[in-house]
A and B are shown apart, each in its own frame.
Chain A
Amino acid sequence: MGSRPVRRLEQPRTLGVITGPNGLPHAVRLDGKRRAVVAIRDDWLVQDRWWTDSPVDRHYFELVIEPGRVIVVFHDVRARQWHTHTPPNMAIRAQNARPA
């Protein structure tokens, strides 16, 4: 038996995010285009794996960006970088994603 490759899903990928003076996302660079953030629908903190050598400290934002799409991004507090789990071209329309 050879080694079996395992491909993890929803790997974070780096994303260009322009923040305002308050540190909140102001615009997102997606597919080479600048998309303004229309609204921040939700935000939450995830602090995990603090017992390991690579602890996780993230601030997640669920954003509505132009033209009416939803994307989840997070700010890696330790690395000071922005990422998203959403694969390219997978940002869904805001009206479909809005909970009932």
Chain B
Amino acid sequence: MIVAVEIPRFALHIALRVAKRTADTSIALGPQPGDPNVIGLCSAEAERNGLAPGLRVGEALARCPHLELVVPDPGATAVAAEQVTTALERIGAGIQVDASGTWLFESSGLERLHGGIEGVIRQTRAAIPVGLDVRIGVAPTLFSALQAARHAQRRVPLHLSDETAATFLAPLDATLLPLADTDHTALGHLGIHTIGQFAALPRTSVVERFGLDGLRAWHCAHGSDTARVQPRVPPQPIEAALHFPESVGALPALHAAARMLIGQIAQAAYSRGATIRSITLRAWIVDGGSWTRTITLRQASTQLDRLLTAALPSLAEVSGPVDTLVIRVDASGTAEGTQLAFAEPGDAQRRRQIHEAIRQISGTHGDDAILRTAAFEPWSRLPERQWALVPYDASNSPEHSA
């Protein structure tokens, strides 16, 4: 089973906690300095008054005159999110953090440890900081688990089985399916508005019209998608901070501070025998709020010039005078780990399917049914001696020899 943990309005809750405010009034995240003049996440009361994220501030105040705006704090949000992830990892789960701010993990390895799925859910709930409105969904597939978490009641986990997943998904909006915007528009034009209607389409028609993405979405709609949780590698953080005696707004001063901090961190990582995979810059703004950026390096490194080249340009985006600069890195790279990934992890499944297809075709039509090119004498000046077609032998492929 896959467990999805969703905390609605997470960034708003954290900003309110920093500002020591409560969420029981009409309150919303305001715009960051330099950002478009629109509101962010809204409290439930604000949403009842017709507000939604992305509304212009003027229009929001017109609709809801008692609306209060709170300064977003992405720095504190990132710290809190990392605390939640670490707490979930402590119960033994391999966590994938979804782009939408949902935490996902496989429960199969934990159920015996914690006394069944109920025990896992109990541990999960205990790992979330008190006061946050957590929704938990449990389902056999990734897509179903995400949707279950989004539709679960507070304090009541929504538990789907193989039999109930498709029934639960059927009435949901088809826009939730993982398809491109143009495909969603096409579905609307075809009069398909729910996941159930999409699932009722013939598989071959879906593949013909929407391609492989459509096939994946079709499996999602049936509660039979094969995507698995891809847990993150737990980071090995190293952090350094500099509190300025007086607020600093000049870019050269910020650069000098960042150079010093990154130098210290690179030295610490090097002495550990580790390399740095990503750098997170956080600046606490004097007027309240914070600014944060994460830069993921293409290749883990401790070379100072490379780290500075990656990190320093981002500091130009800091929106106001800073009183504290924090630099945190993930030093989970190994000193030898300089080889880049050849293929995305998602390719493994496709490769397995291709190999199975090859095995079946070869079994039916003989070894010569599928051929591959092989270099014979690629150095030869005679074209006909360079390459040849030979029977494809799946048993000699890297998949099988691994």
Shortest 7 CB-CB distances between A and B: which pairs?
A10-B383, A7-B389, A9-B387, A8-B388, A85-B383, A6-B388, A11-B384
A39 to B284 CA separation, bound complex (whole angstroms)? 70
Proximity bits, A47-86, B CB within 8 Å = 1, else 0? 0110000001000000000000000000000000000010
For the complex, is A4 an interface residue (Cβ under 8 Å from B)?
Answer: yes
Which of A2, A5, A12 lies in contact with B384, CB distance below 8 A?
A12
Interfacial residues of chain A within 1-42, with CB under 8 A of chain B in the complex? 2, 4-12
Chain A residue nearest to B391 in the complex (CB)? A4
Chain A residue nearest to B390 in the complex (CB)? A6
For the complex, is B376 an interface residue (Cβ under 8 Å from A)?
Answer: yes
The reply to whether A85 and B384 contact each other, CB–CB distance below 8 Å, is: yes
For the complex, is A46 an interface residue (Cβ under 8 Å from B)?
Answer: yes
The reply to whether B390 and A4 contact each other, CB–CB distance below 8 Å, is: yes
CB within 8 Å of A: which residues of B?
367-368, 371, 373, 376, 380-391
How many residues of A sit at the interface, in one of the four size bands? 10 to 19
Binding site secondary structure of chain B: mixed
The reply to whether A5 and B383 contact each other, CB–CB distance below 8 Å, is: no
Chain A residue nearest to B393 in the complex (CB)? A4
Which of A2, A6, A11, A46: most chain B Cβ within 10 A?
A6
A61 to B112 CA separation, bound complex (whole angstroms)? 73
Q: What are the residues of chain A within 8 A of B387 when measuring CB–CB?
A: 8-10
The reply to whether A9 and B381 contact each other, CB–CB distance below 8 Å, is: no
Q: What are the residues of chain B within 8 A of A10 when measuring CB–CB?
A: 383-384, 386-387
Which of B367, B371, B382, B389 lies in contact with A46, CB distance below 8 A?
B382
CB distance from A2 to the nearest CB of B (A): 8
CB distance from A16 to the nearest CB of B (A): 20
CB distance from B26 to the nearest CB of A (A): 62
Chain A residue nearest to B376 in the complex (CB)? A8
On whether A9 and B367 interact (CB within 8 A), knowing A56-B382, A85-B384, the answer reads no
Q: What are the residues of chain B within 8 A of A11 when measuring CB–CB?
A: 384
A12 to B384 CA separation, bound complex (whole angstroms)? 7
Q: What are the residues of chain B within 8 A of A6 when measuring CB–CB?
A: 388-390
A43 to B381 CA separation, bound complex (whole angstroms)? 14
The reply to whether B382 and A8 contact each other, CB–CB distance below 8 Å, is: no
Which of A9, A46, A49, A85 lies in contact with B388, CB distance below 8 A?
A9
A5 to B382 CA separation, bound complex (whole angstroms)? 21
The reply to whether A8 and B391 contact each other, CB–CB distance below 8 Å, is: no
Q: What are the residues of chain A within 8 A of B390 when measuring CB–CB?
A: 4, 6-7
The reply to whether A48 and B371 contact each other, CB–CB distance below 8 Å, is: no
A4 to B371 CA separation, bound complex (whole angstroms)? 11
CB distance from A85 to the nearest CB of B (A): 5
The reply to whether B383 and A4 contact each other, CB–CB distance below 8 Å, is: no
CB distance from B339 to the nearest CB of A (A): 32
Q: What are the residues of chain B within 8 A of A2 when measuring CB–CB?
A: 367
CB distance from B248 to the nearest CB of A (A): 50
A67 to B206 CA separation, bound complex (whole angstroms)? 42
The reply to whether A5 and B391 contact each other, CB–CB distance below 8 Å, is: yes
The reply to whether B385 and A8 contact each other, CB–CB distance below 8 Å, is: yes
Q: What are the residues of chain A within 8 A of B381 when measuring CB–CB?
A: 46, 48
A4 to B60 CA separation, bound complex (whole angstroms)? 74
Chain B residue nearest to A8 in the complex (CB)? B388
CB distance from B366 to the nearest CB of A (A): 10
CB distance from A41 to the nearest CB of B (A): 17
Which of A5, A9, A12, A49 lies in contact with B368, CB distance below 8 A?
A5
The reply to whether B384 and A7 contact each other, CB–CB distance below 8 Å, is: no
Q: What are the residues of chain A within 8 A of B385 when measuring CB–CB?
A: 8
18 sample A-B contacts, Cβ–Cβ < 8 Å, listed by A number: A5-B368, A5-B391, A6-B390, A7-B389, A7-B390, A8-B376, A8-B384, A8-B387, A8-B389, A9-B383, A9-B387, A10-B384, A11-B384, A46-B381, A46-B382, A48-B381, A56-B382, A85-B383
CB distance from B397 to the nearest CB of A (A): 16
A9 to B374 CA separation, bound complex (whole angstroms)? 10
The reply to whether B382 and A7 contact each other, CB–CB distance below 8 Å, is: no
